[in-house]
Chain A
Amino acid sequence: MIKIAGLSKSFGNVHAVRGVSFEASDGKITGLLGPNGAGKSTTLRVLYTVLKPDEGAASIDGHDVVDNSLDARRVTGALPHGAGLYPHLTARENIAYYASLCGLQRKDIPQKVDSIIELLEIQDFAHRRTKGFSHGQRTKVALARALVHDPQNVILDEPSNGLDVMATRSLRDLILKLKDTGRCVLFSSHVMQEVAALCDDIVIIANGQVAIDDSADGIREKTGCNDLEDAFVEAIQMVARD
């Protein structure tokens, strides 16, 4: 369960996020949708605690991301945009390193790593050093790494960026699996179709503000557009008009 209330963040003169509020519930997939530079990444970075908000608050499972950031991180698995691996370690070692840092018992780690490798279907290259992995392979390993400690909340920043059709499909399956196990999944994207196909709730962000926060049907109704892409454009223009 992720809650954000009145979140603002500036970098110098650039107001990346201004007063963003929304909730992402357990057992649901929430999509953060918006054009490039809308403030999606900044919002997510505040959530996975690498940035501190200027104003407002955010909490994950009731743990404040500023005052109680270690607990918030403990219940969260995050995949930052363009997450990199350690090229001299094997995929397995990369995952095991994170498992150990997350505080998993040493005796449990091998088994835990095995099961996540199976879940992501990366057995074929798990034993190889990650140097020279394809983008799809890297993303899967990074995802496995983020999920190895069984987090209740999963935050993914543009996970499908640069993935081919097959990889995107298996990513989608994984996200649905996470939802089915009652997890709270929050991911960002700038691709309308992807969000529409997956998400229970859609938060459209533009210009650092929330334009619409609703289900796909609700958005169609509010904007009066039948096509979601039109609705997306309409919502963004609504913000611009304000």
Chain B
Amino acid sequence: MRTLFTVFRKEVVDNFRDRRTMASALLMGPLFGPILFAFVINLSVERSLSDVEKSLEVPILGVEHAPNLVRYLESKNLDIIAGPETRELAIEAVTAGIHDIVVVIPENFGAQLTDAMPARIELISDQANTTADRDARRVRNALRNYNDELATIRLLARGVSPLVLRPLNIDDVDVSTASGRSGILLGMMSYFFLFAMLMGGMYLAIDTTAGERERGSLEPLLTLPVTRDKLILGKIIATCVFMALSLMLSLTSFFFALKFMPLEELGMTPNFGPDVVGKSFLLLAPFILIGASVMTLVASFTKSYKEAQTWLSVVLLAPTLPILIVSLLTLRPRLEFMFIPSLSQHLLLIDLIKNEPVNTAHLAISVTSTLLFGAMLTWLCARLYRREGLLV
């Protein structure tokens, strides 16, 4: 017990003094997620808001051919400006990115309209450009509305009810709650948390085998009257503590970051108070042992620090795999999923954030199976630490 504590304390002191470990455990991991998230959310909120409010400049070629249409568009908060001289120039301007969209009204537009023929109008845009595509959609909608209004007037003039053109009346009823909607977005966070957790222990895991070997401190360590099981266990415990610290920091920083995200404006109220932070920590904590032992295991097969770093960056992505598959297939939480580490944490975390009741049986299976996996992998680490090839 004392040996275990000696090893543990040394690893903690050693790593607290290592700038690289500290940066990855206390800064990179915990801050990367929330910052990225806040950035994305703010950007999308800003965009969706600005769309409605901001007037859009629409260059039109042939304004003089459709004065009524132009007036209508202006009333829809679109700023009509004179477009390029010819249609060819307009296409060139859009291709070159000078204008996102150009509306071309042909000379015979008025005549076609008077004849009640479908009047041709061109909307030139680059659909591969997402911003332009959104602007084009806005203009297209405005034109459709004008089209509908004209149609209504024409039908009325002929004594036909405009309702004949609307056989269906489609009404969307959205039953998702504000917390539920945030679940989709915040579900992404489960990966950020796992990522931060793994980052926190990465350098310790490398140090346990590859690092000590490269420094030449492993061989003298193994000549001491201490069993190797105790050495590796002490090191894995230290790794776990750093991972837990990193996870806690990540959850806390996310809690604060959420306050600065205008999620309500996207119709989401995240259920992420201090109690949820605590529960999330307990929910994710069993994964720490798996993470620590997998990283130690992978690092023990590598020849050098650099090589270990390369392999461990692959390990950092591993927890996303089950999450990704289930998300892509949009599968509902099932009992079997709870046996899969990282996936079970992800699904339960979503329930927690959605403020839905967490299934106790699911929770029990998730915790037990994850801890069991972790224990098995730790045992495997200890086995491998005993082999002679460790030093080579």
Contacts and interface: CB of A to CB of B under 8 A. Distances in A.
B226 to A, nearest CB: 5
B18 interface: yes
B88 interface: no
Contacts of B18: 88
Nearest to B390: A50
Interface in A48-107: 48-52, 70-71, 73-74, 76, 78-80, 82-89, 93, 97-98, 100-103
Which of B2, B3, B219, B225 has most A Cβ within 10 Å?
A: B225
Interface in B360-392: 388, 391
Contacts of B14: 86, 88-89
Contacts of B391: 50
Nearest to A155: B223
A20 interface: no
B68 interface: no
Contacts of B7: 101
Interface residues of A, number: 33
A83 B13 contact: no
B225 A145 contact: no
B215 A98 contact: no
Nearest to B231: A101
A50 B222 contact: yes
A40 to B, nearest CB: 15
Nearest to B3: A101
Contacts of B278: none
A142 interface: yes
Contact of B220 (A49, A88, A146): A146
A86 B217 contact: yes
A86 B3 CA distance: 18
Interface string B201-244: 00000000000100111011111111100000000000000000
Nearest to B17: A88
Contacts of B10: 86, 89, 93, 97
Which of B216, B223, B388, B391 has most A Cβ within 10 Å?
A: B223
Interface residues of B, number: 25
Interface string B1-20: 01100110010011101100
A197 B216 CA distance: 29
A82 B212 CA distance: 12
Interface in A126-159: 129, 142, 145-146
Interface in B36-86: none
Given A51-B388, A89-B10, A97-B6, A80 B220 contact: yes
Contact of B6 (A78, A83, A85, A101): A101
A65 B36 CA distance: 56
A101 B226 contact: yes
Contacts of B15: 88
B6 A100 contact: yes
Contacts of B227: 70
B388 A93 contact: no
Closest 9 CB pairs of A and B: A84-B216, A84-B215, A88-B17, A78-B223, A84-B217, A74-B225, A80-B219, A73-B225, A48-B223
